Amino acid sequence: MRVIVLLGAPGAGKGTQAPILAERLGLAHVATGDLFRAAVREGTALGIEAKGYMERGSLVPDELTVRMLLERLDQSDAARGVILDGFPRTATQALALDAALAGRGTGVERAPYIEVPREDLVARLGGRWICRAAGHPFHATLSPPQVAGRCDIDGSELYQRPDDRPEVVNARLGSQLAPLTEVVDHYRRVGTLTRVDGRQPVERVTEALLEVLEAPAAPELA
Ligand code: AMP
C-alpha cells in the first residue's frame, strides 16, 4: 500500500492538489476534514463529538481522529494506496500513523509540504468556496468557477465553509500552525519531506508535486 502524506497549512492548496494527484497516480484521496464534515452532516456519534471542535477552529482530539483515519484505510478502495490530505496534523498522529503502517508492513513513502506564508493563507481562506458534492475548492478572485455558484468539476452548488469566516480562520491558523511545524519536523527527520512552493499557479504546484512523487527519494537533510 502506497501512503503519501500531503502537508500544508489550512488554505495552502492541499484540497485542490490532492484529488488531482490521486487521479494521476491511481490512489484514493482521503481527507480527514471531508470525513469529519460527512460525519457532522450525517449526525453520527463521531460527527456530534467533532462538531464543536471544528466550529471553533480547533483540532479534533488525536484519538478520535486516528481511529477514524485507520478505519478509512481499511476500506477496499484504499488497498492500492492513498494520498492523505489533512492528516497527520499533530506529532502524535504522525507517530500513530507510522506505527499502524509498520504493522501492515509499509510506511509513509513521501511527505510533500506545500508551503504558503501565513498572510496569503488568510486571504485564500477568506474567499474560498467549496462544492457540496466533493469539497472541490474555488476562490472568489484567485480561481473563480466558470459558472457562478457551481462547481466546474461536478456541477454541484458552492458554499462557504462556516470555519472559513474571518474570526474562525484566525483561530484555525493560531491553533494549527504550531502542530504542523512538529509534523513537518517529523518527516524531515525521517527523510521523506520535500518542500514545494505553494505560491505558484495551481498547475505549477501540481507539476512540482508530481516531480517529487515520481522521483526516487531525495531526503531533505537536516
Ligand atoms: P480541513 O477541511 O482539513 O481544514 O479540516 C476541517 C476541520 O476538521 C479542522 O479545522 C479540524 O477541526 C478537523 N480536522 C481535520 N483533520 C484533522 C486532523 N488530522 N486532526 C484533528 N482535527 C482535524
Give 14-59 pLDDT, tens digit per residue.
999 999 999 999 999 999 999 999 999 999 999 999 999 999 999 9
According to the model, what pLDDT value does residue 89 have?
97
Q: Using CA atoms, how far apart are residues 47 and 37, in angstroms rounded to an integer?
A: 7
| Residue 210 pLDDT exceeds 70 | yes
**Active site annotation includes 150:** no
* Protein residue with least CA distance to atom 15, ligand 1: 33
Q: Is the CB of 137 under 6 A from ligand 1?
A: no
Q: How far is the CA of 52 from the centre of ligand 1 (A)?
A: 12
Q: Is the CB of 187 under 6 A from ligand 1?
A: no
| Residue 218 pLDDT exceeds 70 | no
In order, the DSSP letters of 73-123 are HTSGGGSSEEEEES---SHHHHHHHHHHHHHTT--EEEEEEEE--HHHHHH
According to the model, what pLDDT value does residue 113 have?
98
**Active site annotation includes 2:** no
* Protein residue with least CA distance to atom 5, ligand 1: 33
According to the model, what pLDDT value does residue 209 have?
98
Question: Which cell goes with 132?
Answer: 457540496
Q: Is the CB of 40 under 6 A from ligand 1?
A: no
Question: Which cell goes with 6?
Answer: 500531503
| Residue 220 pLDDT exceeds 80 | no
Contact (Cβ atoms closer than 8 angstroms) between residue 80 and residue 24:
no
Angle between helices 32-42 and 62-73 (to 10 degrees): 100
Mean pLDDT, the chain, rounded, equals 94
**Active site annotation includes 124:** no
| Ordered domains of the chain (ranges, CATH) | 2-117+171-214 (3.40.50.300), 127-164 (no CATH)
Contact (Cβ atoms closer than 8 angstroms) between residue 175 and residue 58:
yes
Q: Is the CB of 13 under 6 A from ligand 1?
A: no
* Protein residue with least CA distance to atom 3, ligand 1: 33
